[in-house]
Structure 1
């Protein structure tokens, strides 16, 4: 126990407290000897990262229960039902997709965004499109931590756009119209983003052109 606490950067007293709160699974026992492994250390580092991000111990305990019993972490984080196609992966497949960048900090960030959930021994990513784009950006040399930071910024803008569209539609019709007209909102966002990228690329071309 002392060695595990040292590696995790916490006190033995804190480790005992985490055990009492069931934030970490019990150790494997052989007689009177308790054995902790790398999974326990990874869990402790995840707890530390979540605490740094403002999660409460109560919330972390719920996440720990989900991880240990196969409940859906995304539900605990308040992720609403989505049209996006979820993807099931083993931990090894997730690590392979992101070239060894699935660190404790990045895992905590992905949990924060509601990207990841669990189902038994599998990991569930809430969106195949987001997973494919994220892994493609990592293959292009962009660190996963920066991809997740960008994802958080995109989430803020997307929430604002969704709220604006909802206000527009609901000001003139019932809630059912919001569901029916949802494809129009997607089309507007895709078109505007395409035009914005055209403008950005055009500006880069102009800035790179030598003065006459």
Structure 2
């Protein structure tokens, strides 16, 4: 029984991995259960034992992506309570998450008008836990007086994530035409964001950002 359960779990994992690849290349319209089964090296009947349709497979792909990120920065001891240090670590984590799902993200950006619900799941739900964690962190920072109390935290986090996403996708498109590195772009995003939300004087933020210990 245990071996059967293990084999079922392995087959399900292969199907989700295959679905991720097929959705990334073909989109929701072009993806078929037959092709997903072929990539997973199983027959279509086996696929339907695990998932009734490709929409269920898409939901499983999203759930898998969320699960991989849900533990990141989940514990308070992962935060230093220093805005610049923590946001730089957060930016690196977001960079990793976006790179891992870049093909899927690009495909569903293109399909946003034809399949708004599926696009919302891919473009919003996959990093929802990361955004929620940052909102909670910034709320605590507001309570400590480190972050301005007159800003909308959810909108601020979305704008920060938007900067990171735009930069990562741009570097993939035209990396050789830019006069700065990916790391420089990420650092600049963090610096701008920290200076915009912090209650510290600009001189104090600037001296910290430029200190050797933060690099």
Give the greater-gyration-radius structure (CA).
Answer: 1
The two structures have a TM-score, normalised by structure 2, of: 0.27
Which is richer in strand? 1
The two structures have a TM-score, normalised by structure 1, of: 0.27
Relative contact order: is structure 1 or structure 2 higher (C-alpha 8 Å, sep ≥ 6)?
2
